[in-house]
Chains A and B, each alone.
Chain A
Amino acid sequence: MSVNAWIIVGDQPTVGNLVTVARSLGGTVGAVVAGPRSVAEIVASSGVDKVVWCNAPDDVPAEANATALADAVAADPPRVVLAGRNPGERVLLGAAAARLKAAVLTGARSVAVEGDGVVVVNAVFGDIADETVAVSGPVALLLDGGSAPSGDGASVPIEEVSAPPLGVRVVETRTHGFDQVDLNAAHRVIGVGRGLKSKEDLALIEALAVAVGAEIACTRPVAEGLNWMGKDRYIGSSGARIAPQLYLAIGVSGQLQHMVGVTGAETIVAINSDPNAAVFKETDHGLVGDLYQLVPAITAALK
C-alpha cells in the first residue's frame, strides 16, 4: 500500500524532513504554498511531484490563504497532510484538517503505511509516553520541518490558484534584532534558565560558551517573558529539540517541558543551587552550587 501526501508550506521553505516522511509513504507528494512565490520556487526543487501556489496580494499573510489552501488540498484529497512546527504552518494545517475532517497528531516519532491504515507512533503528554495510533482516514501531522532544500535540484512546475484571501492584512513588520540561530547544528549547547539573575550576567555565560565552543540557548521563560534572547533559542516541548554532544543546563530547574527538548543529548551537565532540582534526575554530571562561582571556575579551567 502507498498513500498520497500534501505538504503545507507558509513563509518558510524548510521542508526537508517533511519531504522525507511524505516520500516514505510511497505515493505522490504535493506541496501547497500559501506564502510568497519565492518560497514556492524553492519548494519546487525539494523533491516533491507538484507544487500549488496560492497567489494573493503582497500585504496578505500566509494565514489569510488558509481557505484557498484547504480548497487545493481537498481538490485532490490525500491520506496524509504534513506541516512544520511554525505558527503560520499550524494555522494552515488546521484549515486543511478541518476541511478533510482529518485526525491531527503532533508528536509523531514515526509514520508508516500498514494495510489500509496509517500508523503513527505518537509521543503524548510532554513525551512521557508513546502511543501507537492506527488512523483510518485522513491524518494531519505537525512535524519538525527540517532544512530548506539547496535549490539546485530539478524543479517541478508551479500551478497557481487564486482565491479571495481571508480578511487579514500585514500593516507593519519588524525584526527583533536578536541573532538567529540553528541550534540543531551545534555540537555543544549551553541552556540558561531563570537561575541567572540579570541579563547583564549573560556575559558570564558568553565567556563560558566561547571557551567550550557552544551555542547559547535557554528555557522558555528566559526567551518569553524576560526576553533576554530570541524565541528560536528556547529548548523544549514548544521550542527547539536538540541532540548535541553536550548540553550544559545552568540555572535550569529541569521541568518536563524543557527536558524533552534535550533527551537526545549525548551528555547532560547541570549546575543548580537546589540539590532537589528536577534537572538532576536527568543529568550525567551534576554540580550542586551557585552558578556565579561554578561558571567562572569552569571557564578558567578551560583556558
Chain B
Amino acid sequence: MKIVVAYKWTRDPEEASARPDGTVDWSRAKPGLSTYDPVAIEVARQLAAETGAELIGVTVGDKGVGTPLACKAALGRGLDRVVTVEDGSLADAGRSELAAVLAEVIKHIGDVDLVVTGDSSMDVAAKMVPTVLAGELGWPAVAEVTSVTGKAGELRVGREIPGGAQVLEISGPAVLATSADAAAPRVPGMKDLLAAGKKPVEHLDLAALKVSPQNAVMTVTGRSLPERKVRKGQLIDTADPAQAADELLTALRQAGAL
C-alpha cells in the first residue's frame, strides 16, 4: 500500500501585514510546515505503521519548498520519502493549478492508494486543494476526517458532519482531508531529524509533468484593505471588578449594545 501526504511549506499570515495599498508584506514571516499538516502526517503514519504501507510526502509550490530544510521538516515527522515540484511559476498558482500539479505527481508515483491532507493551509486556508485534487483523479474525497483504519480497498474512515459524526467504508483510492484535531502530532526528536537527512528526496520538473492547462485565467486588477470598523480601544480599570462591571455596562448601554 502507498499512502501520500500532500503537505505545504508556507508562511503564517499572523506574521504578515497588509500595507495601505493592499499588498501584503511577508518580510517578517518565516516559512514552515503548514500548521495542520503534522496532523495529516501523524494520521497517515499510524495507518502506515498498521498496514506496512510506504508513506510518501508530496509538496508542490514556489522556490523554497524543495530545500533540504523544508524536506527535513516533513521527513522528520515520519515520512519515508518526499517528492517535490519546486517552481517559481507556482508562486501565484491558484487552488486548481496546484491540485492539477499534485494530481500529476500522484500519477507519476503510481499505484497510490490514499492521499491524506491537513485541514487547511495556514496561508490561504481555502480547504479546496484536496477536493479539486480528488476531482482531477476521479477519486472520492472526504473532509473533516477524524480516523482512518483498515487497508487499501477496505478503509474505514471516521468523519465529522454538521451536528455529528459518521463512519464510512471506502473501497478504492481516495483523498482524505483530516480535521484539525484528528491526531496529536509527535514533536520530532534529534534522532528523527538526523534520520530525515538520509531519507530520499525526489525533485520533479514541472514542465516534464505535462499538466493540462486551466480554462480560466485570473488577473489581479486591484488590491485594497478591507473596510474595518474603527474600534474605540478604551481600557476599563479593573482594580475593582464591581466598579469595572458598572463602567462597562454604562458604556454598552450608551452604545446601544445592551
Residue A113, interface by CB 8 Å: no
Contacts of A86 in B (CB 8 A): 162
Comparing B71-79, B200-208, B247-255, the segment that makes contact with chain A is B247-255
Q: Are A169 and B169 in contact (CB under 8 A)?
A: yes
Contacts A103-B216, A168-B142 known; A129 to B24 CB distance under 8 Å? yes
Flag if A94 contacts B241 (CB, 8 Å): no
**CB within 8 Å of A: which of B50-107?**
94-96, 99-100
Give bound CA distance, A266 to B236, whole Å. Answer: 18
Check A63–B96 contact: CB distance below 8 A.
no
Residues of A within 8 A of B116 (CB): none
From B164, B225, B241, name the one whose CB has the most chain A CB atoms within 10 angstroms.
Answer: B241
Whether, in the assembled complex, B228 has its beta carbon less than 8 Å from a beta carbon of chain A, the answer is yes
User: Which one of B139, B221, B257, B258 contacts A166 once the chains associate, using CB atoms below 8 Å?
Assistant: B139
Complex Cα gap A103–B218 (Å) = 7
Q: Mark A257-288, 1 if CB is under 8 A from B, else 0.
A: 10000011111110000000000111111111
The answer to whether B131 touches A94 (Cβ under 8 A) is: yes
Where chain A touches its partner, the secondary structure class is mixed
Question: A90–B225 Cα gap in the complex (Å)?
Answer: 27
Q: Does B143 contact A263, Cβ atoms closer than 8 Å?
A: no
Cα A232 to Cα B252 with chains together (Å): 27
- Are A97 and B96 closer than 8 Å at their CB atoms? yes
Contact check: which of B96, B156, B235, B257 meets A266 at CB < 8 Å?
A: B257
B31 within 8 Å of A (CB atoms): no
Asked whether any CB of chain B lies closer than 8 Å to the CB of A21, the reply is no
Q: A129-B225, A134-B221, A287-B236 are in contact. Are A171 and B168 (CB under 8 A)?
A: yes
Which of B100, B123, B143, B180 is the one whose CB lies under 8 Å from A90? B143
Decide yes or no whether A138 CB sits under 8 A from chain B: yes
Q: Which of B204-241 contact A (CB under 8 A)?
A: 212-226, 228-229, 231-236, 238, 241
Query: Are A255 and B14 neighbours in the complex by a CB distance under 8 Å?
Result: yes
Interface stretch (choices B1-9, B15-23, B40-48, B188-196): B15-23
B14 and A168 within 8 A (CB): no
Contacts of B13 in A (CB 8 A): 125-126, 128, 256
Decide if A175 is an interface residue (CB 8 Å cutoff).
yes
Chain B residues, CB < 8 A from A11: 161
Given contacts A139-B216, A301-B246, contact A129 B22 (CB under 8 A): yes
28 contacts between A and B (CB under 8 A): A87-B144, A91-B134, A94-B128, A94-B131, A97-B95, A97-B128, A98-B134, A101-B96, A119-B221, A128-B17, A129-B24, A133-B220, A134-B219, A137-B217, A138-B215, A142-B127, A169-B168, A170-B167, A171-B167, A172-B166, A225-B180, A246-B258, A266-B255, A280-B235, A284-B255, A286-B235, A287-B244, A296-B241
Question: Nearest 9 pairs between A and B by C-beta?
Answer: A94-B131, A98-B135, A137-B216, A167-B171, A132-B222, A297-B241, A289-B238, A87-B143, A301-B245
- Which of A's residues lie within 8 Å of B, judged by CB? 11-12, 61, 63-64, 66-67, 70, 86-88, 90-107, 109, 119, 123-140, 142, 166-176, 178, 180, 188, 212, 220, 224-225, 230-232, 237-238, 245-246, 255-257, 263-269, 280-289, 293-294, 296-298, 300-302
